[in-house]
Amino acid sequence: MVYGMDMSDEILKLVRTVAGLPREDQSRILRLVDLLSLAPYSVQQRTQGMLRKLLDADPRSKHQCVANVDELIAYLEQSVAESENRGTKWADYHDPFVRGTTQ
């Protein structure tokens, strides 16, 4: 039960930290989290690696950091759109096959 308590303390700390940021930064973080929740697992893994590289690079300015985060968001938006598009294309093929099967 102690582990759960540590986790909730970490989440609370994170929420307070984000709440203290300017609104535009909060929006970026929320967009990033939202897109990550929609992205396929492989995209989530790649994005986590990209975030690690961003943190390890120790950006010299907020402008540089924001530009890198915006690139991540663009990557996620494209990946999610492509993923949804593939799902739609599969449905186009799947439905006729299902209707045409004999049972």
Q: Is residue 4 part of a domain?
A: no
Q: Is residue 1 part of a domain?
A: no
Question: Residue 33's domain spans which residues?
Answer: 23-100
Q: Is residue 5 part of a domain?
A: no
| Residue 94: pLDDT over 60 | no
Q: Is residue 11 part of a domain?
A: no
The span from the CA of 18 to the CA of 15, in Å, is 5
Q: Is residue 3 part of a domain?
A: no
Q: How many domains does the chain have?
A: 1
Tell me the mean pLDDT in the region 50-76. Answer: 89
Q: pLDDT tens digit string along 4-36?
A: 456 688 778 888 888 899 999 999 999 998 999
pTM above 0.75, yes or no: no
Q: What is the pLDDT at residue 86?
A: 75
Q: Is residue 92 part of a domain?
A: yes
